[in-house]
Amino acid sequence: ARSFADIGDIIRGRDMFLGNNEKDMTEKQKLQSNLKKIFEKIRNDGRIPKNVPIGQVREYWWALNREDVWKALTCSADGSEEYFKKPSSHEYSFSNGQCGHRDENVPTYLDYVPQFLRWFDEWA
């Protein structure tokens, strides 16, 4: 789920990780430049008003495609593999096989938790 959330941050232009060195930073800038061009094309294809900010186009795209991104990330999961979910009520549950492919929705909302808070949880 953390990788999924990180991809969401990258797509939406919210990734706070700058890289470990100059090469990482250059690659990140190149990726963000390419993503900006892609989202400008999406905005300019006529389905979205041209006055909508690119950041909002990125948010819309993620909201519409996050389920497909989850399925792509977990497509090689065996049919019996489950995704462990820990809701805030501390009641543990599991997805309905193949890492949530048969669940109605993506089995995580970590992609909507700010990255720095996920880092606190991960590194604490």
Number of domains observed in the structure of the chain: 1
pLDDT(115) > 90:
no
pLDDT for the residue numbered 5:
87
Which of the residue ranges 36-40, 95-99, 113-117 has the most confident prediction, judged by mean pLDDT? 36-40
| Model confidence band, residue 3 (pLDDT cutoffs 50, 70, 90) | confident
pLDDT tens figures, 43-97:
999 888 889 999 999 999 999 999 888 888 877 766 666 555 555 556 555 555 5
What range does the domain containing 72 cover? 2-123
pTM exceeds 0.75: no
| CB distance 12 to 58 below 8 Å | yes
Question: Which is more confidently placed, 122 or 53?
Answer: 53
pLDDT tens track for 9-34: 999 998 888 788 999 999 999 999 99
- How far apart CA 23 and CA 58 sit, in angstroms, is 25
d(C-alpha 88, C-alpha 56), whole Å: 29
CATH number of the CATH domain containing 41: 1.20.1310
Provide the token pair at 61. 């795209």
DSSP labels, 79-101: TT---EE--TTS--EE-SSGGGT
Would you state the pLDDT for residue 73?
Answer: 80
- Backbone phi, psi, residue 85, to 5°: -120, 135
pLDDT over 90 at 107, yes or no: no
Q: Which ranges constitute the DSSP H helices of 13-96?
A: 22-44, 54-73
Grouping H, G, I as helix, E, B as strand and the rest as coil, residue 43 is helix
Q: 């990482």: which residue's tokens?
A: 24
